Amino acid sequence: MAAIKRAANKHKITTCSICGGKLEKLFTDLPFKINDNSIVIIKGLPVLQCQNCSEYLIEDAVMEKVDVILSKIEKTAELEVLSYAV
Per-residue pLDDT, averaged over 28-50, amounts to 94
Q: Please give the Cα distance from 73 to 24 (Å, whole number).
A: 30
Q: What is the pTM of this model?
A: 0.77
CATH code for the domain in which residue 68 is found: 3.10.20.860
pLDDT tops 50 at residue 1:
no
pLDDT tens per residue across span 4-33: 555 544 456 789 989 999 999 999 999 999
Evaluate whether 71 touches 64 at the Cβ level (below 8 Å).
Answer: no
CA quadruple 35, 8, 62, 65: dihedral sign: positive
Expressed as residue numbers, the domain containing 72 is 5-83
pLDDT digits (tens, 9 = 90+) for 48-75: 999 999 999 999 999 999 999 999 888 7
Number of domains in the chain: 1
